[in-house]
Chains A and B, each alone.
Chain A
Amino acid sequence: DAGVTQSPTHLIKTRGQQVTLRCSPKSGHDTVSWYQQALGQGPQFIFQYYEEEERQRGNFPDRFSGHQFPNYSSELNVNALLLGDSALYLCASSLFRGGYTFGSGTRLTVV
């Protein structure tokens, strides 16, 4: 049974560019959450998607946006990249109010 799959695993972008990260949830899960983990820090909640809608959002600017597709997969988009956006981006899937399964993350480096 495949767990949470994220792509790409690593990428390097230039300041001001835009990036899209992708997540396929664990089979049977219908909810996707995104977290940002800066180096040496704990993950910070970005937002959660359920039934193709953003259900809750953390303290992140509007440059961070997302989408959930009918097959429950999700994308995280970040516009106008800043050096401070360099981090590990983690996707977690779950059933409503259920336990979370995390992916291995996408390591984004902004130069």
Chain B
Amino acid sequence: GNSVTQMEGPVTLSEEAFLTINCTYTATGYPSLFWYVQYPGEGLQLLLKATKADDKGSNKGFEATYRKETTSFHLEKGSVQVSDSAVYFCALSDQSSYKLIFGSGTRLLVRP
């Protein structure tokens, strides 16, 4: 079945460091891919998405490119801020289903 695998956290970075959170997926066909962010005590917020191969999603300085050849959708940001500290979830939605399938999440801690 479809699944999403994320790198385990926590990821601890200093402010202004470069961020990469790896995400790979297993799916039939051409799923849509998402990154969601969850701040402490809150629900999920959509960060960015990509719906077809080679698409690049971007928002608030975060980027991720849909790589079908490597079945990956890695999240990157050039310069993280303390306010980026949160849990990040990679997810997919396939065309034959109505549900989102999430990875287990990666906690990011950014220190001043």
Contacts and interface: CB of A to CB of B under 8 A. Distances in A.
A43 B44 contact: yes
Interface string A81-109: 00000000010100000011111110000
Contacts, number: 51
A102 B101 contact: no
Contacts of B42: 104-105
Given A33-B98, A42-B89, A48-B98, A100 B46 contact: yes
A111 B100 CA distance: 30
Interface stretch (B11-19, B61-69, B70-78, B102-110): B102-110
A33 B102 CA distance: 14
A90 B45 CA distance: 12
A63 interface: no
A45 B101 contact: yes
A104 B97 contact: no
A64 B4 CA distance: 25
A43 B103 CA distance: 8
A56 B97 contact: yes
Interface of B: 4, 36, 41-46, 49, 89, 91, 97-105
